[in-house]
Structure 1
Amino acid sequence: METDCTSDDQHVNDTRAARGRPAPLPTGTRLLHIGPHKTGTTAIQGALFAAKDRMPEHGVVFPATSRHPMQAVLAACARSGMMGDATPTEQHWTRFVEQVRATGRSTSVISSEFFADAPDDAAIARIVEQLGGERVHVLVTLRPLVRIMPSQWQQYVQNGLRMSYEEWLEHMLRKAPYEKPNPSFWRRHRHDRLVERWVRVVGADRVTVVVVDDRDRDGLMRTFEALLGLPDRLLQPVPDTANRSLTLAETEMLRNLNKEFRGNGLPDELYSKLVRHGAVMHMKNACSPTSRDERISTPAWAAEAAAAIGAEMTGRIEAMGVRVIGDPGLLSAVPKPSPRPAQEAGQPEEEPRISPEVAAQALYGALAAVAAEPSGKVRTVHGTPSKELVRVLGHRCLRRLRRR
């Protein structure tokens, strides 16, 4: 089934009225938004960056030269970059800390979902101390797991995952210790433990949890404005096609490409350049999904299991004494199923097929990435070391033998 959390405007208005506008944090606070992933982080980062020149007149600074200081935060959390990307260095983090300190006594806001990947209490304590110590107030944004899981799976596929969605769900929900193939998933999305780790360092009085309501599309923007003491409607959504989720057909195409890529032993750097930053990026920018495109759907058993975990996490978070903004009951709600396009048309379901236009745009993106390479950096067969050629050819021969 495909999850559907839409509702009418009256419900949204009732929710806003019941919730009210949160009281602003004290002047001089450094608001540290730690995500986790797939909870509206890209949208809020885009809105903050777009408003960075207007916020200082209201006493708020966004201390970053880009929308998302990802490399700096990856370095602080001792994490490598995406598959094939250069590994961030401590220098990235040091430069970012200097930018934060340059804000002086002003209120400032820092946002990165990769803070949720901090490996232990010592790393969290170091991050908090270097970003302002007692001035730091931690903000955690949460969405229901059933909304996060399909989006996170296709993101893992964009980083080389070859496992199908059903198989991935089996591993995440049914196969203890639930760490393979992506140990980062529960590190990020076991939300009660995530909140608990940061509470241990800063205390419950300096942690705010915001439950994102997907029916209230601008609710997160308004919450940030309230906490920062900004005027209403200063933060506005910024269109970002590069951040859209892939459709089921697009994800399946990429997943099968990942199998070929890994099976032939090609280097990770090539994947980063040609696939993720070439084919996938261009495809997402050039092609917008339509109502006929099938979204990634979560089976009923997995939706119910995710809701049960959500209920458990909600109870533990509420018992910690942190401030909770929004409706915690959303985290354990089981959404109603939404029919797939084939079902609505009364047709039998088929394997997801990618359209010729989308395939062409993906191929063009890869070719454009090759063409953009500086002269001399694109290796031909003649320019490849013989050992590497033997390794690649060996992989291909073994693969063909297995097929036979």
Structure 2
Amino acid sequence: MQAYRGSLLRFDPAGRPVYDEDGLLVVGPDADGRQRVQDAGAYAAVAARHPQVPVTHWPGRIIAPGFVDMHIHYPQTDIIGAPADGLLPWLENYTFPAETRFADKAHSAEVAEFFLDELMRNGVTTSLTFATSHPESVDAFFEAAQRRRLRMITGKVLQDRHSPDGVRDEAEQSLIDSEALIRKWHNVDRLGYAITPRFAPTSTDAQLRGAGELAAKYPDTWIHSHVAENKDEVRWARELFPHARSYLDVYAGFGLMRERAVYAHCIHFDDDDRRLMRETGTATAVSPTSNLFLGSGFFDFEGADRVGYHYGLASDVGGGTSFSPFTTMMAAYYAGREGQTKPGISIAPSQLWWRHTAGAARALGLESVIGNLQPGCEADFVVINPKATPLLSRKTSLAANLEELLFALIVLGDDRLIERTVISQAG
């Protein structure tokens, strides 16, 4: 058992912040030796319940849940900031050429190590991650994550048409490879597998049907893809699947919408699409820096809340422009202003934070496992220095309440805020 003292941020089941200015987090091993939160709350009360537990004190620091990134591409690490006219030219000119290199296991492994270093430096402790169509890219990522004892999710990309040589696969073999990878990696240590059609236009009916059959056979896996990101993409999907009511309905027709299904973007939706998300338990990974960078549009936060379905925040590197959750939260605040019909701030700072931690965990089907620091959660957390820069120090010292403090961190923060990232180690 070990205890950590500092200001403590966590969330209640309704998504409201719980903040102890002088708090104590007590962690200890479960039956498998994995560190979990045993107790949390005000220092005086919690310390009295654990008088023999040694305490590490971080004065002036905030102990907060590790961030959860709901959609990110590790093979696109090297193409952040690549200029393009929009999504489809960006894929053609930068993404696909970069991803062809991931047939090489050594290259995949080198990028995976750098990528995970970058996540840890920015306080991201779990991500739902795209690999490439090459099984080598999946093995390399899982091997690197397993060595670090991280909770990570990825899967082989499925794309058997409208893709160039070097990334295009073949339907039957792609499904055989996917099932072999599920059996090899899913639920091993803290790893999870995601069945991953790139997006509907790059898969044949046979591949999408097979993906749906895998999803039914392995119901605790994830499903991970893109939908309704870009108007040109939406038109293309309509041409390819004329019998579907909408782009999203394509996935429903192939059995690819359920709990633990996550679709990135979901910008060009109507309320029928939103209701389909709600009724199937499917979640959206909102990727605001990518949407702004590629000119794709703005996620409708008010529409999602009105209909009521799960969503959380994502960086979408490399279309996204930063690994930093603070950059993502700030961009979500900007996007929330677009089309806002009610006066006031677009999204409360604590809600932005929740959508990138416990709310994202809920959307992934991992509520009470990650993304929070309530008893029973795995003890992945970050230590934040609110005085990491002179401007932050000045601004945070003026905060009159928690919302002002969190907003100052979101607006002015970057990787310098993350003093350390602590992972729930086993053994």
Give the alignment's TM-score, normalised by structure 2: 0.29
Give the alignment's TM-score, normalised by structure 1: 0.30
CA radius of gyration, larger in = 1
Q: Greater relative contact order (Cα 8 A, min sep 6): structure 1 or 2?
A: 1
Question: Structure 1 or 2: larger strand share?
Answer: 2
